[in-house]
Structure 1
Amino acid sequence: MPVLIVIPARYASSRYPGKPLVTLRGANGDSKSLIRRSWDAACEVAGVDKVVIATDDARIAKASEDFGAEVVMTSTDCQNGTERCAETLENLGAGYDIVVNLQGDAPLTPAWFIEDLVQGLRDNPDADVATPVLRTEGRALNGLLQDRREGRVGGTTAVFGADYNALYFSKEVIPYTGQDFADHDETPVFHHVGVYAYRPKALAAYAGWGAGPLEKLEGLEQLRFLERGVPMLCVEVAAKGRQFWELNNPEDVPRIEAMLAEMGQD
């Protein structure tokens, strides 16, 4: 079952223009671009046959090629990472059974998140799309709630049924708990990890659909599948002592740098 990882990256982010080229300082004081850190994270994943960066921007392409990445140029018409993955697969041709979308703003994604995700899709032949979810501890949940209180669009949360198929994803914190949690308390809220694994037929179908009203309202590409009645398998992953956060806003840079320092990551 050949696996392709695509890292979609665009320069013209409405919330944070030029985000893939923002530098993040590691534990040893050295700085690397966000796209480089995302590439490094992808290259640590076992059982992957190819990793590529997909972009429509010459600046991102050059920066990526300078550190040795393989780049696939895609159209400026792509509305999100899933569409960019679909175009990348079309450009590369057949030969992959699973395509992983590792979005370029998640440099703290551990290799086992993706390995478990791919295994989850393999173990569920009826599933065409899967995504990881991480149960939050109080510290992460309080960070999500603080972002919302301060008017920032931060991480995404997920709710799913007994069959682990997604019920909904939101940039609001769901479900409502009405409780206070200490930093290391386990909570009932699941942080959606912005990674997806698709079978090629699901990518091809997605590219032919227009965005639905919920996708437009939330700005979440995965809702297009749910609005079309396509189940999305949620694969629960374990933190194993690692912190996870995505770079959504400029305010996230010091937060992620602090996490890199705390975890001793260069």
Structure 2
Amino acid sequence: MHGDEREAVEVVNEAGGSQIVLLCEHASNHMPPAYGALGLDAAQTRCHIAWDIGAAALTRLLARRLDAPAFLGTYSRLLIDLNRPPGSDGSIPARSEDIDIPGNTGIDAAERERRARTIFMPYHDRVVAHLDHRKRLGRPTRILTIHSFTPVFLGVKRPWHAGVLHGEANGFAFAILQGLRADPGLHVEANVPYAVSRADDYAIPVHGDDRGLPAALIEIRQDLLGTEAAQQAWSVRLASILAELAETIP
């Protein structure tokens, strides 16, 4: 990757005993120096267009609390988005929200292939290898992907504290949703701030639906993950719900 030796995936607690497998595709805003931050300034590389703020910390905390394996992306979503099908409009965006990405404008097929080969495929190949291994062992598996979203998108305020998204299988997602709704202080809905689709999403359709595995994606509003205390609180809340589900769902 232009001299950057970073692995494309950070694997945490792979031998964990939980039924839950955690994915965090937008865990990092890292870009190799050779990419010149894709022409963005420092503030832009720290905002949501480059990564999901707070998602990585929450994923690591959940991995520990649940004794769950976790797979985190180690490069910025702006180089190539691990949760978008390669070749889709959102895979290597020339514009994200209302910000142009100069370093992604007019790139050729060879560069697109390079990013897919060095970032996208190594991440997902590692997830596939883990899921295949669990299948051989006959281990129950439920996939949960961890994301965060902005309080305001293109000038429109988003009122939800969290959203729980799903693909073809909705039972696991609805169980999480009901667990979160037990807290009357939370405004949580299904399929917000967007809905999962095969055209625009990757992990849920490919690792979940195509394998017949229960899979859900949780989106938490960024301002609710801005501190270590907030991340700890969400990890406690989600771990409690998920641990209870593991006892009631075979």
* TM-score under structure 2 length normalisation: 0.33
* TM-score under structure 1 length normalisation: 0.32
More helix by share: 2
More strand by share: 1
